Amino acid sequence: MLEQLVKEIRKGGSLETHGLAARLGTTPQLVEAMMEHLQRMGLIQNYSDCACACQGCGLRDACSNQGTVRLWQAKS
């Protein structure tokens, strides 16, 4: 399942935990755990491009979970 998650990430675009969980046939909690594992492996990192998580986010207007969303980005 971790390989499937990596494939989804490599497709690019914005990925939301609940959507990824549905595509992978698992729970959002397991997706979060796998993302944290990928971060420890050095494949992804927390998104930290702005001083305040939601203020600089391009998805701010579309996000219903402002302030509670974790964002990651693939390492190059």
For residue 70, count other CB atoms closer than 10 A to its CB. 13
Least confident stretch, 14-23, 26-35, 48-57: 48-57
The total domain count for the chain is 1
pLDDT in tens, 51-62: 455 665 666 665
The pTM of the whole model exceeds 0.85: no
Residues spanned by the domain of 43: 2-74
Res. 31 pLDDT band, cuts 50 70 90: very high
Instruction: Identify the CATH number of the domain in which residue 36 sits.
Output: 1.10.10
